[in-house]
Structure 1
């Protein structure tokens, strides 16, 4: 039976890249179903996402042959099977609106995820996890136990083979080591329109400044707090009559939607890293 694959890559720009890739797939009986590309003139890099079907080669054979092509064209590439959901671990603290939204969307078939575990430094959402038949791991975190707690978290992440870790309002700052371990596969939701109001209590900061728009930002996690490559953002309009509690309540819907879109695009392999920025083929 024909299998559908998603090939993504970046490389130094040169003439004939699209022709080379499409010709490579044609020679192997590949049928291109969707393709998108972007040339970053500032960096001289070329980015492409190709969705194609192929029944003449296995995934392993395709990867081996793409590897040879990749050496010739200097590709930084990855190949994924479209039908394979992304193995995911979700981390959360005391606010569960983003967690609940992701679980419901996955249950409804709206996100191509295989949610393997929920990890939390609090016990609040063990019943919610149980209602979706997802294992729940309570790992308390204090200043004295942070290193051991992160070691346990990483053990779970690796044991589950997680390709994606979602910080769904997980309110602990990850160590540099953990950020490095999760490089390129951890998405955080920040309840602010970054780069404004970074750090703690952004709604309090926004209210103090009398903003007319509040927002949310989904970004990849890096060792630089709230500085990772941005995947998605959105805003909601407010006015002078809104309290901090109003902003917090209104912001939760924005946070959930922004995070869900970022997770969806990542799990569909539509997001490519471009230095401290992203290229997103929607």
Structure 2
């Protein structure tokens, strides 16, 4: 992926190394609101997948409630150091999503509100409760921020055998896809529907939401490559490998050797690959209506 020399976003907060108990990764979970993310890396593998339940259900049970949690105080955020190569990379990817979604929203007589990207280590306060490294990258609609512990990329290499800059960019683009859903009002509609649904139906809605975010990541890649020629040979394959590796069926099979479709919250490997490919092939938001699709 060609990224060096491209614009870096100013909307990056570096909270790594903060004091106050948020950098150790020790304490328990306190997710009071809903954090939408790739997730299912540690807690989901250990608890959600072994128990066969929705990861958000586990987090809400641990928190003892479902209402929005107050944002805890933390040290003032600062920009990443200029010599931090990985921080520069994610800042560039974020800028690229800004340069993609801004014109798309403008073409539809709307304004794209740029999200913040927060770099943290261990844990950090969010408007959705305490974000943990163990949940993987996630988006919090309460503060319109994407959170990522960059050690996740090392986990991708070691546990899922997935590497490459474009696969790493896909992770950011997926979470920004959730931000787009929030701005379009899609996430709120899904959350309301899930509150009135049983677990099976709730999980099915979550799958459609996640697959749409995969498709939106593909839409970003389509436009970014057209405008800035970022793709190199093998990049798309890397992203497809990432989407395949984090399919619910692949993760469940890896964790416990069996698959429980009713507990899926993100979609199968084949579904995630299919919707990302649809986005990167067609490059249209309208192509990503997973909620109208009869078959995913």
Q: Normalising TM by the smaller chain, what interval?
A: under 0.3
- Greater radius of gyration (CA): 1
Using the size of structure 2 for normalisation, the TM-score is 0.23
Higher helix proportion: 2
Flag the structure with more relative contact order, 1 or 2, with Cα contacts below 8 A and sequence separation at least 6: 2
Higher strand proportion: 1
